[in-house]
Amino acid sequence: MYAYVLEERKDSIRVVSDGAPIRCGADSVSGAVSQRACVYSGARVVLNPITDAFHIVHGPIGCAAYTWDIRGSLSSGSELYRNSFSTDLQEKDVVFGGAEKLAAAVDEVMREYAPALIFIYCTCIVGVIGDDVEAVCRNAERKYGNRVVAVKSPGFSGNKAVGYRLAGEALMQLLTPYGHLPKGDGVNILGDYNLAGEMWIIKQYMREIGLPVVSTFTGDSSYASLIRAPSARLNIVQCAGSMVHLAQRMEKEFGIPWIKASFFGVEDTGAAVRRAADLAGTAETRRRAAEFTRRESERTERLLEPCRARLAGKKAAVFVGGGFKAVSLVRQFRELGMETVLVGTQNGRPEEYEVLGRLAAPGTVILDDANPAELERFLREKGADILVGGVKERPLAYKLGIAFCDHNHERKHALAGYEGAKNFAEEVNLSVNSPVWRHVRAGQGH
């Protein structure tokens, strides 16, 4: 198909209308400049927003340093999670074992802060050197009566999605003792990390229609708020990639049904709010949801008009972590009168790629686990005007003279809900129509 693509990667690239299923979820090819992260990274990003937990990285310093205050998840309470804790393993620990140091680190935390919850993340070498971390956790729980949960997440044991599952299992360990709580009228929101306050926007919508929110996973959550979760009657899952596993486990263990819901874009936000009302609310809730979404979508439509006029006909490219977000973004660009010419994800699932295949226009390129060389070729070939991605894609887009919008950890404004739809349109407009591009284009041929 394309000469500059590694043979092993050809099945991970599709053009809409070629009909073949995409290969995804496989390990990255050795030697590829993959944009992918690891198991630890997946587990950490899911659990990190639990604001009053001590997140202790058991391993050498790097994994703790790179995940120090990374996500822009906001808190209405504790700021503990924004510090970096680790055992900073040294050579002698690697030789003689690090379990003792870990136990001492837990003691030091307990002596000073006595938190209700500690996560211990085991990175690559912990299993290799044979530390019995679970024993350390058990002993600590006995000694202090709090929760000390091991997240065994060596980077090599799979990809980021494996880390999401491990995070889900760690959360289940917290929730299981509270599985007997009687069901109330509320819902849980799963898979939103309160980046730039997005969880607060979703909670506000639930308040508007009269649906109480029990727990949030994990944006702006605390140990005390999480353990109430089994009393909810519905789980609303926003970032499906990271939270489907937990939702399935909660359905099985606590009998809580779940729905996927995207709060990105006017269309999807409206559908998500109404669906939540349908499944968890009363006739009154449904009435309020219908009215609220109609009012908000009309109001937002008016706000989008000025941007739409300046963006119509532009071409968009999307490269994000999960497939569900990619689907929303394709719709959102359509709302702005823009066509998506390239869609890729780091960890999309087969069913999400299927939806993308149906949604995207013929000729759209679909990529799984792309590397910069592939992104570059297709961005150029398809004439994209803007790329939506994360930190590693930003300078690549700019170098190519293509506008950029961060839809990942470094987003500058809330992108969820109606407010987010307006912010997104403004960011896309600001980047696509920046005056800098005039000079860039004028400079060519000098």
Partner 1 sequence: MLDLTPKTVSERSALRINPCKTCQPVGALYAALGVHRCMPHSHGSQGCVSYHRTFLTRHFKEPAVATSSSFTEGASVFGGGPNLRAAVKNIFDIYDPDIIAVHTTCLSETIGDDLNACIQDISVPDGKIVVHANTPSYVGSHVTGYANMLSGFIRCLADPRAAKNDRTAVFPGFVNPGDIRELKRILSLTGLPSIMFPDQSGVMDAPMTNTYVMYPQGGTPLDDIRALGGCARVLALGGFACAEPADVLDKKCKVPCAVLPMPVGVGATDAFVTAAAEGAGRAVPEELEDERGRLLDLMLDANPYFYNKSVAVYGDPDTVAGLVAFILELGMRPRYVVTGTPGEAFTRRITALLQEYDTGNCTVKAAADLFELHQWIKNEPVDLLLGTSYGKQIAKAEDIPLVRAGFPVLDRYGHSYLPIVGYQGGIRLAKMIADALMDRQDRDCADEDLEVVM
Rounded to a whole number of angstroms, the minimum distance from the CB of residue 58 to partner 1 is 10
- In the region spanning residues 399 to 428, those forming contacts with partner 1, defined by CB under 8 A, are 399-401
Q: How many CB atoms lie within 10 A of CB 173?
A: 13
Q: State the minimum distance, in angstroms, from the CB of residue 410 to partner 1.
A: 8
Give the Cα separation of 260 and 272 in Å (integer): 8
Backbone angles phi, psi at 237, to 5 degrees: -105, 115
Does 430 participate in binding partner 1 (rule CB under 8 A)? no
d(CA 338, CA 385): 10
User: 133 Cβ partners below 8 Å, 6+ apart?
Assistant: 58, 99, 102, 120, 122, 126, 150, 152
Task: Give the per-residue SS3 of 350-384.
Answer: HHHHHHHHHHCCCCCEEEECCCHHHHHHHHHHHCC
Q: Which of 18, 65, 252, 438 binds partner 1 (CB under 8 A)?
A: 65
Q: For residues 94 and 303, which CB has a smaller minimum distance to partner 1 in the complex?
A: 94
Beta-bridge partner residues of 14 = 366
Nearer to partner 1, 79 or 354 (CB): 79
Burial 347-364 (b: 16+ CB within 10 A, else e): bbbeebbebbbebbeeeb
Nearest to residue 81, comparing CAs of 47, 107, 58, 112? 47
Stretch that binds partner 1, among 26-34, 188-196, 260-268, 276-284 (CB under 8 A): 26-34
Choose, by CB under 8 A, the member of 2, 21, 27, 224 that binds partner 1. Answer: 27
Q: Which of 12, 14, 22, 40 binds partner 1 (CB under 8 A)?
A: 40
Least distance to partner 1 from the beta carbon of 104, Å? 4
Q: Which of residues 265-324 bind partner 1 (CB under 8 A)?
A: none
Contacts of partner 1 in 94-153 (CB under 8 A)? 94, 101-102, 104-105, 107-109, 111-113, 123-125, 128-129
Region 326-385 residues binding partner 1, contact defined as CB under 8 A: 372-373, 376
User: Minimum distance from CB of 387 to partner 1 (Å)?
Assistant: 12
Contacts with partner 1 by CB under 8 A: the residue count is 77
> Shortest Cβ distance from residue 182 to partner 1 (Å)?
36
**Interactions with partner 1, residue window 194-223 (CB under 8 A):** none
Q: Which of 183, 155, 350 is nearest to 256 (CA)?
A: 183
Other CB atoms within 10 A of residue 71 CB: 19
CB of 151 to partner 1, least distance (A): 14
The conformation of residue 183, written as its DSSP 8-state character, comes to: P
Provide the β-strand partners of residue 15: 365
Smallest separation (angstroms) from partner 1 to the CB of 420? 23
Within residues 147-186, the interface with partner 1 by CB under 8 A covers: 154-157, 159
